Structure 1
Amino acid sequence: RPTGEGEPPRPRRTEIMASQSAHISSNKRFLIFFDFDETVVDETSDDMVVQAVPGQYLPGWLKDTYQPGHYNEYMQRVLAYLAEQGVTESDIRTVMEKLPATPGMLALLQFLRNQHDFEVVLVSDANTFFIESWLRRTGVRQLFNRVFTNPATFNKDGRLVMRPFHSHDCARCPDNMCKQVIVRDYVARRVQEKGRPYQRVFYVGDGANDFCPGLVLGARDVVFPRRDFPMHRLITETHEAMPGEFKAITVPWVSAEEVVQRLRKLVAE
């Protein structure tokens, strides 16, 4: 058949190319990671889900089963208890949808929606159902290229079953998730796909498990720890005890509006 015969009409081909270009982020120069609990939302979703339980509290025997480093297994027991108490998928979604954003966070997410140079990724030790419920209700799900978190789905009995995200060898992190492994692997894969490095990588977080991924960032990268939260304290302690160990520029924030201000300056460079 002669070349060109049977090709789709030009408008259709243009549409395809336009839709493809909308999904390809190879031209993006910046990569920004977000934690979820107490970073994007101003609460810990695992704690707030208790509001769905009659009486809004967990019995002492259940709380006593928690062991440090094994929080994921503990939450699996909590979710099983919720199902036993008659808590439904709708009940849990309602609680998650009402989680308040941290100060200035909606402005930061809106800023990123208007930028074409940012690839936005979420890395959280919560779970897919909690996070997706909030992101979709808030209308920001499409902003995030990827969401890395513990998978969670409802089984036939109506129980939300959560599984560990992965296994790893990091002694610093809980056994179900090391965010450093996720960040390192994602950056390496995307750089390989793009054929060039990012101009800068950013990380916005608050918790102790957000400190670990910060250790793999370079001197041009920027971490935004929530001021006076565990991530910020660990960075400060590391600078004092092992100067040079933590290389990324550190910009603490109280309101995410401060993150917007710094990003505006860096994008303009």
Structure 2
Amino acid sequence: MKILVIGGTGLIGSKVVDRLRDAGHDVTPAAPSTGVNTLTGEGLDAAMAGVDTVVDLSNSPSFAKDDVIAFFTTAGRNIAEAEKKAGVTHHVALSVVGTDDLDRLGSGYFAGKVAQEQLIRAAGVPYTIVHSTQFMEFLPGIVASGEKGADVHMPTADIQPIASDDVARLVADATLEPPTTQVVEIAGPARFSMADLVATYLTKTGDARRVIGSAETPYFGAVLDRDTLVPRGAARLGTIGFDEWFAARTPAAAA
């Protein structure tokens, strides 16, 4: 199978590329650094030639609402047009568990993700949308989002974080299966209160700051319901737990 991985040089993309190549497929990573720009369309038709499946793992460089909407709508239209010209038979996209709810609750970033998913559904190319929970690798960013002086303020909503290696494996699996024309949810093996998980993470990293948990503390602009960030039905689960993931981090990652 010939597969194009948009965002194929990033954290998840590079792992997906390696897994699909190890499975014997012809895989091309696409990114501005490889001469493919989904915003301008540069290199997109050439990269799409002869491709059976497209995996879109790209993300907006800005999380501002207008920027995110512009990124996903512009890139989404360009990708869909190129796919139809090339006769692509499966479009796989990585999105986020709770996207619709997070948009409803006021997180500007997710207005862009909703727009992206709407374009995918309307494009006419068979698709699978993979909704993932938060990556364990994003914990430093989650901590930074709640920093207030000497404390870290966190929601008490549930979180079911997943390691990037598990994300890559499950996305690769979805890529090699027939299109579902629906959402497939993936998550880590264990569920925590976000405040409790962040407190554990800070303790493990030797950070003495106090974590203050509250149901009213916003998460990137949205005040969460208890189950906003976790699957509400059947989900495909990763196998790497938080302790295992933390123990396997390299010194560079830990820094």
**TM-score normalized by the length of structure 1:** 0.31
Q: Which protein, 1 or 2, shows the higher relative CO under an 8 Å CA cutoff with sep ≥ 6?
A: 1
Bigger share in strand? 2
